[in-house]
Amino acid sequence: MPQQAQSSFDSQRPCERMPLQDQVEAAVQDGTTPISRLLRLMFAVDADATANENLRLRLRARIGAPRSV
């Protein structure tokens, strides 16, 4: 029985199905997250009225932190 191929959108962005808080936590902990991804998360946090201020502060600190290599 043939299986349906997973769409490229689903396979490229599995983290976007996670709650915003989990996405921010993962991005903050991963020192290799691109700045573009961090800025998209910051935009999402700013747009979410229910977002925790602590998330916003941690994300801002991570955006300003030096890139780990």
| This prediction's pTM | 0.69
Instruction: Going from the first residue of the chain to its last (69 residues), give the mean pLDDT of each consecutive group of 10, the final group possibly shorter.
Output: 51 68 94 93 93 90 75
What pLDDT was estimated at residue 43? 95
What pLDDT was estimated at residue 14? 55
The one-letter amino acid at 31: G
What pLDDT was estimated at residue 5? 53
What pLDDT was estimated at residue 65? 73
Burial state string for 10-43 with b = 16 or more CB within 10 A and e = fewer than 16: eeeeeeeeeebeebbeebbeeeebeeeebeebbe
Question: How far is Cα 9 from Cα 69, in angstroms, rounded to an integer?
Answer: 28
Domain residue extents for the chain: 18-64
